[in-house]
A and B are shown apart, each in its own frame.
Chain A
């Protein structure tokens, strides 16, 4: 069973700054099937990135994903007010699937 560890737990930034979020897996999994989700209070998670680096439909290009193997990164450039939320990574390359515990991006 793969465990995903996200860091940091909370990121305090100002609008316009860049957020760098990390997701580390306990072992590698198939085809870099790593996704990132954004979740706002009271809403279901929204898919941002799939396959470690591909943006989902309608996601602005200030969101980018990178990494392979066991180390992955989500970068949010030029933070907009609507980007302050909780972000989760998920591996879907092996079963059982797994989520990280989340990183909260908050306004400084």
Chain B
């Protein structure tokens, strides 16, 4: 059974960098199937897809246009986890952040079938 365990600070100061980690058990971040995503949710923006990383003989990333200049999603194969970094945060980045697996088999995709528990991040001085 696949499990995603998120960790990271719940409070970040404006202009600083938000950093979260998602530890994967029961699957591999380097799997040639599927992709590893970060999503956030706030009352003002609803569910917002931020980006993903995936491995298909080499690493790829996709990012949302709204955060493209500030976001980095990195896999850590030695620890079987992925990370999220969001730079220059403002109070608008206050949200619950989730990691999630986009499952795939034989190049057919199944949606976001496993989610982390969510991390509430507040941007405030």
Question: Given A98-B49, A99-B47, A101-B46 in contact, is the A90-B98 Cβ separation under 8 Å?
Answer: no
CA A90 to CA B49, docked complex, whole Å: 9
- Total interface residues on A, using CB and 8 Å? 24
Given A50-B110, A96-B64, A44 and B117 contact (CB-CB distance below 8 Å) = yes
B111 CB within 8 Å of chain A = yes
Question: Considering the chains assembled together, what is the distance between the CA atoms of A33 and B39 in angstroms?
Answer: 18
- Cβ–Cβ < 8 Å partners of B65 in chain A: 1, 96
Q: What residues of B have a CB within 8 angstroms of the CB of A97 in the complex?
A: 37, 49, 52, 62
By the criterion of a CB under 8 Å from any partner CB, how many residues of chain B are at the interface? 25
* Residues 95-125 (chain B) with a chain A CB within 8 angstroms: 98, 100, 102, 108-113, 115-118
Which residues of chain B have C-beta atoms less than 8 A from A88's C-beta?
46-47
Query: 7 new A-B pairs (CB below 8 Å) besides A49-B111, A95-B62?
Result: A37-B112, A50-B109, A51-B111, A88-B47, A96-B64, A97-B62, A99-B46
| 21 A–B contacts, CB within 8 A, in A order | A31-B109, A44-B100, A45-B98, A45-B112, A45-B115, A50-B113, A51-B108, A51-B110, A51-B111, A57-B113, A88-B47, A90-B111, A92-B102, A92-B111, A96-B49, A96-B63, A96-B65, A97-B49, A97-B52, A97-B62, A102-B47
